[in-house]
Amino acid sequence: MAKSPVTFSCTACGATYNKWSGRCDACGEWNTIQQDKGISSGPPSKSLGTRRGAAMVLTDLTTKDTPPPRSQSGIAELDRVLGGGLVPSSAILVGGDPGIGKSTLLLQAAAHFARSGLKTIYVSGEEASAQVRMRAQRLGLSDASVQLAAETNLRDILTTLEEVKPDLVIIDSIQTMWADNVDSAPGSVSQVRAAAHELTSFAKRRGVSVILVGHVTKDGQIAGPRVVEHMVDTVLYFEGERGHQFRILRAVKNRFGPADEIGVFEMTGEGLAEVTNPSALFLSERGTPAAGSVVFAGIEGTRPVLCELQALVAPSPHSQARRTVVGWDGGRLAMILAVLEARCGIPFAGLDVYLNVAGGMKISEPAADLAVAAALLSAREDVALPAETVVFGEISLSGALRPASQTENRLKEAQKLGFTSAIAPAGGKPVGKNGITLNTMSDLTGFVGEIFGAG
């Protein structure tokens, strides 16, 4: 009889190995690799064992079941990110930096869901019930019928939930939960994986919505094994800079709605307030147009968002010029600089390049390429673009400009905020008259020559 292979995994990052070693090659931690225990100690044959299980319930794909109704929280930005509201039996994972406002947001959401008629339980593994109650009083939520508990034992939590039968459970946080059938410390990879599996299974089995709060690593990823993100239905990231008053809730994964959807909140003394027009907020501190400043018309999920890109190009006192990026991909900046030099003959050697997305916004879509190139050229040539112009478009390695999606939505948002002209790639879908002048370009060389008179 063949023996099952012995595997080892790192308790810090979850990386798996065929043999033990003192140091994990994935995360660099020492003495964190341990042997994995099998699910069953029975015979490792082709089946799970000798005992037969129960038969599965099979349904026909053509069965026309009415989908369960979504529960509205009353917080429009949160409902938007969830895809239209909270789906019963769903498991949601919310991650974010410490102190960013995850507990505040979820406590406000719990109060709103409770006021709408859902039986809500808030389980805190980091605070006492009195501390959560004090925060609720400060936020003006003490009148909401939310049941509180301060507990970390997963077995006790599941037993209580089986008896109470709530509609919504919030676990703050998953890293503090402790399953007594797993031989490791709370917060380890095996504990997080086991707790997430038990809570997700409970949500599907009992028709209860579960929201899990997850800590993040230094890289900004949710701590623990990535398999936790595959277990849940929705993964939300709560982003923001401590120096700015607004926060962004972004859907990274959503089985019930569009991914990359964002909700914008403003941190106030009374908690998180909704921001219905995030473009106006991101451009509120924009003063007199200066060289290196360009307004980018982007799309976040289904929502058009305008933000300011700032670039600074200065002679470098060092032999190796600096490339510093905040809010955008540093590798894509290197690509734009290479295309400008190779296709347009504009070198940036010996020049320090700094790029910043104003307001702490993070941009990932490639349609920001042309706006970044315009900001870099504006800073290098010390020429400011017109204040009423927005820029968007993708740049290919050949120097050609590729059209961006949802051009009409971008232009409508720009026109709503008072912009009168836009620079975009040619060849996109025709757009209707929306009160804004569209200046189309076919390649980067023509853009440089027409806007900056060079190339």
Measured in degrees and rounded to the nearest 5, phi and psi for residue 165 equal 55, 65
100 is in an annotated binding site: yes
The continuous run of DSSP H or E covering 282 comes out as: helix 278-282
DSSP-based helix, strand, coil % in the chain, nearest 5: 30, 25, 45
- Burial 406-432, CB ≥16 within 10 A → b, else e: bbeebbbbbebeebeebbbbeebeebe
Q: Is 96 labelled as part of a ligand binding site?
A: yes
Q: Residues with Cβ < 8 Å from 362, sequence gap 6 or more?
A: 239, 248, 327, 328
CA angle 79–85–90, rounded 5-degree value: 120
- Closest by CA position to 174, among listed 147, 201, 195: 195
154-158 contacts, C-beta under 8 A, 24 or more apart = 154/178, 154/179, 154/180, 154/194, 154/195, 154/198, 154/199, 155/179, 155/180, 157/123, 158/198, 158/199, 158/202
Residue 444 in tokens: 């980067």
Tokens of 338: 């290479």
Q: Is 16 helix (H, G, I), strand (E, B) or coil?
A: strand
- DSSP letters of 350-415? TEEEEEEEGGG-----GGGHHHHHHHHHHHHHT-PPPTTEEE--EE-TTSBEEPPS-HHHHHHHHH
Determine contact, residues 299/259, Cβ cutoff 8 Å. no
99 known member of a binding site = yes
422, 436 Cβ separation under 8 angstroms: yes
Cα distance between residue 214 and residue 223, in whole Å:
7
For 137, the enclosing helix (H) or strand (E) is helix 129-138
Q: Is 101 annotated as a binding residue?
A: yes
Please check if 98 is assigned to a binding site: yes
Q: Is 119 marked as binding a ligand?
A: no
Binding site per annotation, positions for ATP: 96-103
Binding site per annotation, positions: 96-103
